Structure 1
Amino acid sequence: MKKSDNTLAENAQNELQKLEMCIQDLEEGVENLYRSLIKTRVSLLNILNH
């Protein structure tokens, strides 16, 4: 591989790693939001049933 090809491959690999980290952060955020929505739903149902 040429040096420029190697550099491009390394840059692409770095960008993919950054993208993977962003996706993981998004997944964690969505998971937290989902948990929060479930807790809110449970609270509302408890209020309505009492």
Structure 2
Amino acid sequence: TKFFVESQSTFFSIDPYIQIQFVKDAAGTVTGLLLTQRGQTSEARKIN
């Protein structure tokens, strides 16, 4: 699957449609992501 840039923190694929949005804290550090597929959004937290 090829992903395209939608914004600085959001990427998407066309077929199948998937959107990935990286979530950042106030300092700008990535803390997780939101994955949207088939109308459902799942959240994943970053683990170290």
TM-score by length of 2: 0.17
Structure number having the greater strand percentage: 2
TM-score by length of 1: 0.17
Bigger Rg, which one: 1
